[in-house]
Amino acid sequence: MRVLVLGAGATGAYFGARLIQAGHEVSFLVRPARAELLRRDGLRIRSAQGDFAAPVPLLTSVPANAAFDLVLLSCKAYDLDTALAAIAPAVGATTRVLPLLNGLRHLEVLDLAFGAARVLGGLCHISVTLQPDGSVLHLGNLHRLTFGARGADARLDELAPQLLAAPAEIRHSERIIDAMWEKFAFLSTLAGMTCLLRGSIGEIVATPDGAGLLRRCYAEACEVARRAGHAVGEEARAEADTILTTPGSPLKASMLRDLQRGAVTECEHIVGDLIARGAALEVDMPLLRAAAAHLRVYELARRMPDGTPAR
């Protein structure tokens, strides 16, 4: 299988490396500075699930008439427009685009660009971070990627066994939109509350009201999903409750790391979008709204004098 991975940030690099280990032909579409670093040092993953270090094929633009079976899209939501232009030459009639972006709003954008038949549903559960030396550090043991068709798709039936061969927890879901809603509800809670309270899960639950606040916020998010017709299952809710209330847990959303280093966040794509959907369904969401207000104040404060967002 020929795979194009947009970027070699933490998530794309990790799953791209696992696809290489499965014997697939994987190329990374990267910016020139990242390409120079990777040519010098190779792609390096440090993980309790197995390290990876090797030179990898690199592109700084997609050649005309390039033929890829799969495009793995793991950019941040605020880079989506740039990403669409970059990967467009790689998307042919039989190519499938597998987005691993958080939330749901990107699906409509991808459908308009490439046609809904070419766009899969996808999500991942993993904590990875790009280190100052350009390597990728995998935190913890969870490295789950879930994919699925949003309708009947014979092409995905051909590609699925090849994806499932990667040495990670790869799942082929027959209810991928429900799975995406499950993560949407969980991540909106994790991102919203760790940003609002400026701490890890362990730090939050160490306070008298911490666990209760996390559970109340997650209940708000689950109610949005339920009214939208994608009720979060009991197994997913139990797993989320455990993760969100584990004493001593160092877990924090990547959005909090972005906030702490003064970078742009995915507030509107995740928390903001969930609130918009919930408002249309008349859901009461005081904690989610407080989290969104906190993030929006931060975004306003970091804007440049002419009103454009700093990057």
| Model pLDDT, residue 309 | 53
Q: In this structure, how many other beta carbons lie within 10 angstroms of the beta carbon of residue 155?
A: 17
Q: Decide if pLDDT at 98 tops 60.
A: yes
What domains can you pick out in the chain, each with its CATH number? Answer: 2-174 (3.40.50.720), 179-301 (1.10.1040.10)
| pLDDT bracket for residue 108 (50, 70, 90) | very high
Q: Decide if pLDDT at 41 tops 90.
A: yes
Separation of alpha carbons 71 and 175, rounded Å: 21
Residues 180-208 have pLDDT tens digits of: 999 999 999 999 999 999 999 999 999 99
| Model pLDDT, residue 305 | 60
| pLDDT bracket for residue 304 (50, 70, 90) | low
Separation of alpha carbons 30 and 32, rounded Å: 6
- Selection from 264, 268, 269 nearest residue 103 by Cα: 269
Would you list the DSSP string of 255-266? HHHHHHTT----
Residues 151-161 have pLDDT tens digits of: 999 999 999 99
Answer whether 142's CB lies under 8 Å from 125's CB: yes
| Phi, psi of 182, rounded to the nearest 5 degrees | -60, -45
Cβ-count burial of 47 within 10 angstroms (0-12 exposed, 13-18 middle, 19+ buried)? buried
Helices (H) and strands (E) in the chain, counts: 12, 10
Reduced to 3 states, what is the DSSP secondary structure of residue 285? coil
| pLDDT bracket for residue 67 (50, 70, 90) | confident
Q: What is the mean pLDDT of residues 86-106?
A: 95
Among 44, 138, 143, 183, the active-site one is: 183
183 is catalytic: yes
Residues 232-288 have pLDDT tens digits of: 999 999 999 999 999 999 989 989 999 999 999 999 999 999 999 999 999 999 999
Q: In this structure, how many other beta carbons lie within 10 angstroms of the beta carbon of residue 96?
A: 24
Q: Decide if pLDDT at 212 tops 90.
A: yes
